[in-house]
Amino acid sequence: MAKFISFLLFSTILCSFLISSMYARNIPYNSSITYLNDLTYNQTRRVCDKSRFAKLGLDMNDFTYCNKSLPYVVRVKDLIDRMTLSEKARQIGDTAYGVARIGLPKYEWWSEALHGISNVGQSNSLASFFDHIVPGATSFPTVITTAASFNESLWKAIGQAVSTEARAMFNLGHAGLTFWSPNINVVRDPRWGRALETPGEDPFVVGKYASNYVRGLQDVEGTETKYATDLNSRPLKVAACCKHYAAYDVDNWLGVDRYHFDARVTEQDMMETFLKPFEMCVKEGDVTSVMCSYNKINGIPACADPKLLKGKIRGDWDLHGYIVSDCDSIDVMLNDQKWLRDSPEDAVAQGLKAGLDLDCGSYYTNYAGNAVTQGKVKESEIDESLTNLYFVLMRLGFFDGSPKFEKLGKEQICSEENIELATQAAREGIVLLKNEDQVLPLTSKKVKTLAVVGPHANATKAMVGNYAGIPCKFITPIHGLSLYTKVDYQAGCGEVLCKNESLIFPAMRAAKKADATIIVVGLDLDVEAESLDREKLTLPGYQTQLINQVASVSKGPVILVILSAGGVDVTFAKKNHKIKGIIWAGYPGEEGGRAIADVVFGGHNPGGKLPLTWFENSYVDMLPMTSMPLRPIDNLGYPGRTYKFYNGSTVYPFGYGLSYTNFTYSLSSAHQQVHVKLNKFQHCRDLNYTAGTHMPSCPAVLIDDLECGDDLNVEFSIEVENIGNRDGSDVVMVYWVPPEDIAEAPLKQLVGFKKVFVKIGEKKKVDFVLNACKNLGLVNYRAYNLLASGGHNFVIGDGKVSFPVQVKIHH
């Protein structure tokens, strides 16, 4: 969503010229429309308010859409039926202009809340913004860090805290109610610049993150989906949006940019990887919006593909909400992709017909009316879009108010509780990668002086990454560490790019004197960002030299702390015995320094796990970022992607992370067999086996053919014992390994994870209930989702505990 930003810079100036420029472009414009922006100043902030209507010279009773005793479907229809064609067109852009003569105010659909309320987005007084009234909002860790906690309740709790701050800001006239977050694209390639915004490389983890965060943002207690009779009327705290649909994960790599990139993907990868998190977000999260991406997929712009939008999201997955374009996707379609040599009206018609309800941009508002009068699209397509949009606003209380949230105000923003939650998230997301000789945690008794060096030692903004707002405050690493002991700070490098070595010597001097040395290095938005992919996986500039030189002279143990989203090839540090500890802190949010210090000095026992494979730098020389397949391509020599398909060596694998204590697992019960009895309408399906292996007589069955009841469950418990000398948390990860020798199968797939806190010497039983249909689906190359017969395996964590499950398919 950066394309729009250049436009934003002058958009406030542009506003006053909009109307004249519309004339210039020959757009039907009804001069009787005046735009209402009164809600900003309205105490109740609701449309259907008698006194508000009276001020407009209207009687609210004349407007059925404001009659609370009628169902939304009647009210929404009434509202839409009152509008002229050009009035309708003016409501389907991110800035919806409202219709004064019927009491409908302006609304800005675009706000962001990826990891806290952000001021990225449309710069008008209806979107989210900060000023002297609301100077900042809690800035949680970036998503990649929070993902590393593998704690589903935490993901949801953050969504709840963010939506509380959002409601408070809305009440204060400082935010909208619709937030275009989270970003749930899978990190298919380690070079992707937007890894920081996402929950990592595993579609299952990404989908779980999405559904939890969305529920945290959206759900109103007591009206969650399980209680709702009509999901189209279920109340919403705020509306979330899963983006960017789909196969979007190239931003700008060696000149290939997202506006021109055509992602060539197989149906197998679509189903198994690219669509999976979106399906979970819609079905499990009941999200109210999905955003389509800029890129083309197999030649078709994502926002113009009726199969992907109307067919999948609205049809197969039954979205209760609206589909929005990235900003400004229609312009991209027209001017970058030159899709079908369209006119603006053609492009708008294609979007509407594909099921794209809302245009982030001004193509719909400017051209949708013409597209209808030129016969390119039915007016009823616009009605359908408006229906989807107004249902969401009804559910948000935009028309009737939300008494439950109206009391929220300044006290809820940057509350102590939320800042504490941000700290907890950072602590839980930090991953301990190396702890030679158990040097960590340090103690302030032994470490009287601590040298803290490196370009991130005094990090502030870097800790909140992108899509951040203005944080309540920052606790930098040096600040956090100085709460434990005396700190001697030397930058070592002027900035992350570290273009010269002039500051290395002072850092070495500090390390020579101190009892211990912390080197805080890594990446920032100058290296990995929206519209900026990486070219290599090593540390930038002279950072490696800084680390080696400081380590070589340091008096005490050296601990390396890395701030980054994507993996960094730190093999040199892993092998260096002077460097006793390596900690990955992601981009840990506004309280990052406190969390890092708590881990270093043992105030918190780390339990985070890597949500991404840390590849060796040589990986990126083996395949271009633009090659989309997840599976290895043997004839081109391309290795597989992600832990599911890459079998080579890594710096640190997906799921890796140490603790200051040790855990052991034992399997306390397991169901060993799954029987599938086929009736005469169900048939065996073929699966590709590698040559020379014996294929079972009934290799597989189509999952859609099965009744997926409890009889196809695989149930087991893992007992986790803390055998070390510190309390701590562990993430129990369950991988499914498909039967051997199936040609197209992933090496393994995470199918369950649970985080548990276990005290010293204690045991905790963790129960898992998996289902063969839901968790053991194998997508073959023809994109059938199959259950394979034969010996499946379940592997817990790094593999010390595993057990087989036989799937038997018979008539």
Residue (268 or 293) nearer to ligand NAG, CB: 268
Q: Which of 118, 151, 544, 749 binds ligand NAG (CB under 6 A)?
A: 151
Residues numbered 407-446 forming contacts with ligand NAG, rule: CB under 6 A: 428, 438
Residues numbered 456-515 forming contacts with ligand NAG, rule: CB under 6 A: 458, 460, 476, 489, 494-495, 500, 502
Burial 512-545 (b: 16+ CB within 10 A, else e): eebbbbbbbbbbbbebbbbebbbebbbbbbbbbe
Distance from C-alpha of 455 to C-alpha of 495, rounded to nearest angstrom: 5
Residues 6+ apart with CB under 8 A from 214: 159, 182, 240, 242, 281, 285, 286, 287
Phi and psi at 118, nearest 5°, equal: -110, 155
Residue (173 or 401) nearer to ligand NAG, CB: 401
Residues numbered 739-778 forming contacts with ligand NAG, rule: CB under 6 A: 743-744, 755-757
Distance from C-alpha of 277 to C-alpha of 186, rounded to nearest angstrom: 8
Residue (239 or 491) nearer to ligand NAG, CB: 491
Distance from C-alpha of 513 to C-alpha of 497, rounded to nearest angstrom: 27
The distance of closest approach from Cβ of residue 425 to ligand NAG in the complex, given in angstroms and rounded to an integer, is 8
Site string for ligand NAG, 511-550 (x = CB under 6 A): ----------------------------------------
Point out which span in 229-237, 300-308, 512-520, 723-731 binds ligand NAG (CB under 6 A). 723-731
Q: Which of 632, 738, 752, 797 binds ligand NAG (CB under 6 A)?
A: 632
The distance of closest approach from Cβ of residue 153 to ligand NAG in the complex, given in angstroms and rounded to an integer, is 4
Count the residues of the shown chain that bind ligand NAG, applying the rule CB under 6 A.
Answer: 33
The distance of closest approach from Cβ of residue 632 to ligand NAG in the complex, given in angstroms and rounded to an integer, is 3
Residue (544 or 661) nearer to ligand NAG, CB: 661
Residue (14 or 723) nearer to ligand NAG, CB: 723
Distance from C-alpha of 654 to C-alpha of 795, rounded to nearest angstrom: 14
Asked if 647 touches ligand NAG (CB under 6 A), the answer is yes
Q: What is the dihedral of CA 38, 40, 45, 50, to 10 degrees?
A: -20
The distance of closest approach from Cβ of residue 15 to ligand NAG in the complex, given in angstroms and rounded to an integer, is 34
Structural tokens at position 382 = 């616009």
Residue (717 or 725) nearer to ligand NAG, CB: 725
Residue (152 or 257) nearer to ligand NAG, CB: 152
β-pairing verdict for 684-685 and 516-522: unpaired
The distance of closest approach from Cβ of residue 140 to ligand NAG in the complex, given in angstroms and rounded to an integer, is 12
Site string for ligand NAG, 335-374 (x = CB under 6 A): ----------------------------------------
β-pairing verdict for 713-722 and 763-771: antiparallel
Distance from C-alpha of 735 to C-alpha of 745, rounded to nearest angstrom: 13
Q: End-to-end CA distance of the chain, in Å?
A: 53
The distance of closest approach from Cβ of residue 607 to ligand NAG in the complex, given in angstroms and rounded to an integer, is 7
Residue (61 or 693) nearer to ligand NAG, CB: 61
Residue nearest to ligand NAG (CB): 494
Give the sheet arrangement for strand 289-292, strand by strand: 242-245, 289-292, 322-325
The distance of closest approach from Cβ of residue 312 to ligand NAG in the complex, given in angstroms and rounded to an integer, is 24
Residues numbered 105-144 forming contacts with ligand NAG, rule: CB under 6 A: none
The distance of closest approach from Cβ of residue 540 to ligand NAG in the complex, given in angstroms and rounded to an integer, is 13
Distance from C-alpha of 188 to C-alpha of 203, rounded to nearest angstrom: 10
Give how far Cα 122 sits from Cα of 179, 327, 532, Å. 12, 10, 22
Structural tokens at position 336 = 């970058």
Residue (379 or 741) nearer to ligand NAG, CB: 741
Point out which span in 224-232, 444-452, 695-703, 722-730 binds ligand NAG (CB under 6 A). 722-730
Give the CA diameter of the chain.
83
Amino acid at 540: P
The distance of closest approach from Cβ of residue 290 to ligand NAG in the complex, given in angstroms and rounded to an integer, is 27
Q: Where are the beta strands (DSSP E) in 523-585?
A: 558-563, 579-584
Q: Which of 48, 89, 100, 154 binds ligand NAG (CB under 6 A)?
A: 154
Say whether 658 sits in a helix, a strand or coil: strand
User: What is the enclosing helix (H) or strand (E) of 385?
Assistant: helix 379-395
Structural tokens at position 553 = 């002279």
Asked if 49 touches ligand NAG (CB under 6 A), the answer is no
Residues 126 and 37: beta-carbon distance below 8 Å: yes
Q: Which of 29, 35, 572, 781 binds ligand NAG (CB under 6 A)?
A: 781
Phi and psi at 412, nearest 5°, equal: -85, -15
Q: Which of 552, 627, 717, 725 binds ligand NAG (CB under 6 A)?
A: 725
Query: In the chain, what are the helix, strand and coil shares in percent, each to the nearest 5?
Result: 35, 20, 50
Is it true that the peptide bond before 441 is cis, omega within 30 degrees of 0? yes
Asked if 724 touches ligand NAG (CB under 6 A), the answer is yes
Site string for ligand NAG, 574-613 (x = CB under 6 A): ----------------------------------------
Residue of 326, 328, 342, 533 marked active site: 326
Residues 586 and 211: beta-carbon distance below 8 Å: no
The distance of closest approach from Cβ of residue 634 to ligand NAG in the complex, given in angstroms and rounded to an integer, is 5
The distance of closest approach from Cβ of residue 743 to ligand NAG in the complex, given in angstroms and rounded to an integer, is 4
The distance of closest approach from Cβ of residue 173 to ligand NAG in the complex, given in angstroms and rounded to an integer, is 28
Residue (336 or 741) nearer to ligand NAG, CB: 741
Q: Is 78 in the active site?
A: no
β-pairing verdict for 449-453 and 431-435: unpaired
Q: Pick from 573, 583, 577, 538: which is nearest to 557 by CA?
A: 577
DSSP labels, 286-355? --SEEEE-SSEETTEEGGG-TIIIIIIIIIIS--SSEEEE-TTHHHIIIIIS-GGG--HHHHHHHHHHHT
Asked if 783 touches ligand NAG (CB under 6 A), the answer is no
Phi and psi at 326, nearest 5°, equal: -70, 165
Residue (34 or 649) nearer to ligand NAG, CB: 649
Point out which span in 64-72, 242-250, 396-404, 442-450 binds ligand NAG (CB under 6 A). 64-72
Q: Provide the angle, in degrees to the nearest 10, between the axes of the packed helices 379-395 and 363-373.
A: 140
Question: What is the dihedral sign for C-alpha 214, 756, 591, 652?
Answer: negative
User: What is the enclosing helix (H) or strand (E) of 718?
Assistant: strand 713-722
Asked if 634 touches ligand NAG (CB under 6 A), the answer is yes
Distance from C-alpha of 481 to C-alpha of 595, rounded to nearest angstrom: 9
Residue (323 or 561) nearer to ligand NAG, CB: 561
The distance of closest approach from Cβ of residue 809 to ligand NAG in the complex, given in angstroms and rounded to an integer, is 20
Nearest-5° Cα angle at 287, 96 to 40 = 35
Site string for ligand NAG, 662-701 (x = CB under 6 A): x-------------------------x-------------
Spell out the alpha helix ranges (H) of 66-131.
72-81, 85-89
CB atoms near residue 468 (< 10 Å): 24
Residue (364 or 489) nearer to ligand NAG, CB: 489
In eight-state DSSP terms, residue 660 is S
Q: Which of 729, 749, 771, 775 binds ligand NAG (CB under 6 A)?
A: 729
Tell me which residues are annotated as active site: 326
Contact residues toward ligand NAG (CB under 6 A) are: 61, 67, 69-70, 151, 153-154, 157, 428, 438, 458, 460, 476, 489, 494-495, 500, 502, 632, 634, 647, 661-662, 688, 724-725, 729, 743-744, 755-757, 781
